[in-house]
A and B are shown apart, each in its own frame.
Chain A
Amino acid sequence: MNSTISDTRERLSEMPVEFTGSGGEYFRIWIVNLVLTILTLGIYSAWAKVRTKRYFYRNTIIGGSPFEYHARPIQILKGRAIVVGAYLAYGLVNMVSPILGGILILIFLGFLPWLVVRASVFNARNSSWRDIRFNFNTASKAEAAKVFLLFPFLSIFTLGLLTPYITYRGWRFAIANARLGTTPFKIHAKLGKYYAAFFISLLMLVGILVSLFIIGFLTLQRIGLPYGPESMSAMHMQAMLVPMLVAVFFILATPIFFIAYGALTRNASLNATQLGPYQFESTLRVGILCWITFSNLLAIIVSVGLLMPWARVRMTRYLAANLIMHGPPDLDTFVQGNRPEARALGEEASDFFDVDIGGV
């Protein structure tokens, strides 16, 4: 074992993913997208989505080559029209009869695994690197039903203790069903790592909440209890400010759990991911991720949203820089294989649905 590693070490190299987009450039694309979407009453949003996605794909580079996004806006527009139509229909039905509305929700839930698989297939087939298309296993509907319906349902009865298992299965679903050309992605993650991530994140959250409650309780004791919605005097308003501030901190504390859990499970998953002779490494740090998230948040608020593009580019750059590919540096082992399949995808009725759900 040791000898093979040292034998191949010469030919292996470290290839970090690079993101070359800039905040200023994306700002121009974003604001023009926004204004054209407004002027066309939302219709342009499909073109805007493709342009945005292409900007991020074309600026994400491995081995000197960018990714490419191939979806045609009209496919996305059709998908959006169907989603909006279904939503309006549900709203109308629900107004006439809530029971019928409930039945519609159940029917939708029945379609959910199919939708998740279709969306994954759509996204994979419309993504390429060095003109080799990604693909996604269409025979994964039963697995999707388990991961996105059965387990979350069972999770209700287990006080969330199933959550790490569901995350583990979610990543396995997203990675093990994907392939680049003919080369499948493989994942050999250990379930234990997901439980460790869950409890570490939970411990962080509990620590923060306990200290917040103590601060909030002490402050409230000094000022008095909060008042109702119709309080008229200015004094009441001031008294309302304190619980509001506590609530704001509470709102800020919960994302820390999700950031930590998201980062740790992403590391666990990608560190166990392989593509042919290549091994991935993810080096996200919870502290840095929290800092980027919250400073982004502050920047967006202070700039009334105008720094949103800068914030997004900043986050993408961090995520990219912390994903590293290990393997032979020439990267020429992937082949397209069955090409017509990717070409004919426009004709499929199921490509109507463009829903981004979870995954890599």
Chain B
Amino acid sequence: MTESNPLSPMKARITEIQQMTDIEKLIKLRFQNKTDASNFKYMPGQFIKLGVMGVGEAPISICTSQSDEPGLELCIRNAGRVTKALHNLNVGNTIWIRGPYGNGFPMEAIEGKDLLLVAGGLGIAPIRGVLQYALHHRELFGEISFLYGVRCYDLMLFKDEILDYFRHGDEKGVKLYLSYEDESDKVCYDLSCERDDRCTQGMVTKLFSMLDSKSNNSVSLIGGPPIMYKFTVRELEKMGFQPDEVYMTLERRMRCGVGQCGHCIVGTGKSIKYVCKDGPVFTLWDAMNTKGMI
């Protein structure tokens, strides 16, 4: 992004591509311009506009936490026109980036708290950034529990990391809980046999029964499809979470990312918000005040 025009992208090159599932790839990239690289500061939960010239741009969550490592990781599902074009690219190809945009999760404001992370499907992308941040600054946070719901093992994202947390998370400071929907899934079934206190067949909401009761100093950060929010929020409320202790990240059509193009607007005359600029992270209290948000 140049100062003169927020719609001007920065050049980046693909350095690595990892096929994560049939429809999702992890694309690692590096800015071509050193100034762009050093100016690119972001928080978990923020997003970028990722573009292929001649095709267009798509909003993509950043799935890492800022570290000394140069470059950026993006988990991209082949779901639309632009992401399909992105899936056809190879290592060494150029892509174009604007951002970072949005508010991100308020990592500094929630320091000292126990974290309950809940992710479903592709919603793990922003939540992974939160987890990395928290583990990177482990001393700043209390207990970390991470609930991840997948349809089946084949569709599980970041498999190696997830399995590592599943088996060795306790030593690293995160308790990982896993749910899977597909009853016939052999690998997940084996995982549930391996630790029946951490893995079960069912929706992600089923994992709540495995959790200790809520501490009086905890927040929940969630990412997933719209339908997941409704059910997850119900569980969180049952546990005693206050509406301002639940943070969720929303998806909308976003053309500009800078609060101008109007596509991501939600709410009523009393509560109109731009998801790209005022969010994409909102509290449950925001959602209660903004009709149509979840």
Q: Do A and B come from one complex?
A: no
Interface residues of B (CB under 8 A from A): none
